[in-house]
Structure 1
Amino acid sequence: MKITVGGQIDKENVAELLKKYFPEGEITIKSDIDAAMDIKLGNADYYFGACNTGGGGALAMAIALIGADKCATLAMPGNVLSEEKIKEEVDKGKIAFGFTPQSAEEIIKTVASFLKIKS
C-alpha cells in the first residue's frame, strides 16, 4: 500500500504515525500538489494530510485534483468523527483524509483498522 502525506502542517508526525499503523506501507512526504498528483496519477493509494481546520489546507489540493467525492474531513477543531462515521467514509471509497494534528493518531489508527479490513 502506497500512502502519501500532504497537508499543511505536522507532516513528519503524520508520516511516523502512518509507519506505526501501516508497517507494511510505503510512506512518502510531499508537497500538497505533488501528493495529490500522486493520487490522481495512481502512484499512491491513499492521501493523509493535517491542518489546523482539518479540511482546508489538509485537503485543498486533493479536492481540486481528485474531487471532493474522494476526500473526507475526519476531524475538525472540537469535532472528531465517530468510528462509525469514519468507516462510512472508507466504505464510500474515500482515499484522501484530512484532520487536525491533535487528532492525528486517533484518526490514523481508526482509518488503518478499516482499510486493513477492506483490503
Structure 2
Amino acid sequence: MLRIVVGGLKKDVTERAVKAAGGDKVQVTVTSDFEGAKKVKAGDADYYLGACNSGGGAALSVAIGILGYANCSTVAKNGKKPNAEEIQKLVNDGKIAFGMAVEGIEESVPVIINSLLKKHGLE
C-alpha cells in the first residue's frame, strides 16, 4: 500500500481524487505542507501531493525546502494538462513530491497515482 500525504489548496479534492484512483492500494493523509513533507522525509509517508493556484509555487515550496529540489516536480501548471509519459518518467526517476495547479487536480492526480502504482507493481 502506498502512503500519500496531501497538502496545499483544495486538499479535499486531491484526497478524493487519490482515493478514486488508488482505491485500497493507497492510504491518504490530509495535512499541512510542512507536516506532509516531514512525514515523507521521516519515512512515515511515501509521496507528497500539493496544489496551489499556479502549480509552480506554493504547491511545492515547502516540500522543496524539506525534501530537496531534486525530489520534487510540478506536473501541471495553471492552464496546462498533465502529460502521462512525462509523469511516468518523473516517478521512475524517483521524484517523491508532486505539485499541480488546483484546476488540474482531477486530471493530474489519477495520472500520478497510476504511475506510482505501476512503479510499485500494484496496478
Q: Which band: TM-score by shorter chain?
A: over 0.9
2: CA distance between counterparts of 1:20 and 1:92? 25
Q: TM-score, structure 1 length as denominator?
A: 0.94
1: CA distance between counterparts of 2:4 and 2:23? 11
Corresponding residue of 2:19: 19
1: CA distance between counterparts of 2:31 and 2:52? 15
Superposed structure 1 runs of 4+ greater than 4 Å apart: none
Q: TM-score, structure 2 length as denominator?
A: 0.91
Corresponding residue of 1:50: 51
The count of residues paired between Structure 1 and Structure 2 equals 118
What RMSD in Å do the two structures reach over aligned CA positions? 1.0
Is 1:114–2:115 an aligned residue pair? yes
1: CA distance between counterparts of 2:70 and 2:81? 19
Corresponding residue of 2:7: 6
Cα distance change on mapping 1:113 and 1:44 into 2, 3 Å? same
Structure 2 gaps of 5+ residues are: none
Structure 1 gaps of 5+ residues are: none
SS at match of 2:110: helix
